[in-house]
Amino acid sequence: ATPTAVMVGTGVGASQGVLIKGGQALESTHKVNCIIFDKTGTLTVGKPVVVNTRLLKNMVLKEFFELVAAAEVNSEHPLAKAIVEHAKKFRQEEEGSVWPEALNFESITGHGVKAVVRNKEVLVGNKSLMVDHDISISLDAEDVLAETESLAQTGILVSIDRELVGILAISDPLKPGAREVISFLKSMRVNSIVVTGDNWGTANAIAKEIGIDTVIAEAKPEHKAEKVKELQAAGNIVAMVGDGINDSPALVAADVGLAIGAGTDIAVEAADIVLMKSNLEDVITAIDLSRKTFTRIR
Ligand code: ADP
Ligand code: MG
């Protein structure tokens, strides 16, 4: 393609909300045969909400949510925001959003949070957070978790003073059109993979709903980048689509990194292409533009 064609291609992209940072990115995109999608905020809307609470102990819900919110209000995680939002429903208006004091707050990346509230040790997070703290998970609790995950929801466990007391079911709906985008990519001979820090049950349920066969769950940020490199070593041209800080290493490692516009600044900076409208259809817009610019038959 001529420099003019590349300029036109990037210009058309920009006018459609697909920001392409340079000719190399535009050129590589049509060669992609494999796309890794992050789950939360990329395939899903990224605005999780608590849809169910199961108490495993006899406890007043208001008290339960005060302890949980006091710990989670210190976390930036979207799940934490969903939990705090939900906890407000159990308070009187005049109580506002001032929560009990949390001491020794600790955020454990990819697992959850820990704090001391009203002299009690509160843990909120996934199963491995509980396992790492030697908190036993009853068969009942396992059942609740399995059911939650089969509904494509994330189960968050709460322990107070080393005893499992409740499970929150959190739902983050798929973006509209996600299924169609994946099946259209398939027809273009592009293989889709989902990678997430969330658990296997939820990840598998989401992947099934959307028509993706390959799933990598419980992935740390470095795992995401490793997966990119592994696919490249096998001869694939790999794109990564993500929105989070934890996607940045993979966005950089990929042949083409695509960031969701509504994502974190760090992801947007790490990417070669920014999808300003934050929708998944624009992954196809980008491939189309690249094809039109670089594979024109003359
Ligand atoms: P993702 O790749 O889906 O954005 P993360 O690596 O951020 O996932 O988190 C992985 C898992 O760790 C979450 O699905 C959740 O179970 C747990 N987790 C992380 N942070 C928190 C938190 N603040 N509160 C509760 N659970 C959390
Ligand atoms: Mg994400």
Q: pLDDT at position 117, please?
A: 98
Both 134 and 195 in a single domain? no
How many angstroms is it from 151 CA to the middle of ligand 1?
18
167 alpha carbon to ligand 1 midpoint, in Å? 14
What residues are labeled active site?
Answer: 38
154 lines ligand 1 (CB under 6 A): yes
Give the pLDDT of residue 1: 79
Closest atom, ligand 1, to C-alpha of 38: 2
pLDDT at 98: 87
- CB of 39 within 6 A of ligand 1: the answer is yes
Residue 52, CA distances (Å) to 58, 67, 246 in order: 17, 17, 27
**Cα 21 to middle of ligand 2, angstroms:** 22
Ligand 1 atom closest to 41 (CA): 4
**Could you tell me if 167 and 92 lie in one domain?**
yes
Same-domain status, 167 and 53: yes
The whole domain housing 262 covers 3-46+173-294
Residue 109 has what pLDDT? 84
Render each residue's pLDDT in the chain as its tens digit; 298 residues. Answer: 788 999 999 999 999 999 999 999 999 999 999 999 999 999 999 999 999 999 999 999 999 999 999 999 999 888 999 999 999 999 887 777 789 999 999 999 889 999 999 999 999 999 999 999 999 999 999 999 999 999 999 999 999 999 999 999 999 999 999 999 999 999 999 999 999 999 999 999 999 999 999 999 999 888 999 999 999 999 999 999 999 988 999 999 999 999 999 999 999 999 999 999 999 999 999 999 999 999 864 4
Same domain for 248 and 165 = no
Residues 107 and 246 in one domain: no
55 and 199 share one domain: no
Of 143, 171, 199, which closes a domain? Answer: 171
Of all protein residues, whose CA lies closest to atom 1 belonging to ligand 1?
A: 197
Same domain (yes/no): 59, 30: no
What is the whole-number distance in angstroms between the Cα of residue 163 and the centre of ligand 2?
30
Please check whether residues 160 and 80 belong to one and the same domain.
yes
Evaluate: CB of 80 within 6 angstroms of ligand 1.
yes
> Residues 36, 180: one domain?
yes
- Of all ligands present, the nearest one to the C-alpha of 278 is 2
Domain C-terminal end among 138, 171, 204: 171
Q: Which atom of ligand 1 is nearest to the CA of 39?
A: 3
Q: What CATH number does residue 113 fall under? A: 3.40.1110.10
pLDDT at 296: 67
If one counts the domains in the chain, the total is 2
195 and 283 in a common domain: yes
Q: Which of 137, 171, 205 is the last residue of a domain?
A: 171
Residues 188 and 263 in one domain: yes
CATH number at residue 212: 3.40.50.1000
Are 158 and 66 within one domain?
A: yes
Testing ligand 1's pocket by substitution, the residue of 156, 220, 223, 241 carrying the most ligand atoms inside 8 A of its CB is: 156
Q: Please provide residue 158's backbone torsions phi and psi, each rounded to the nearest 5 degrees.
A: -125, 125
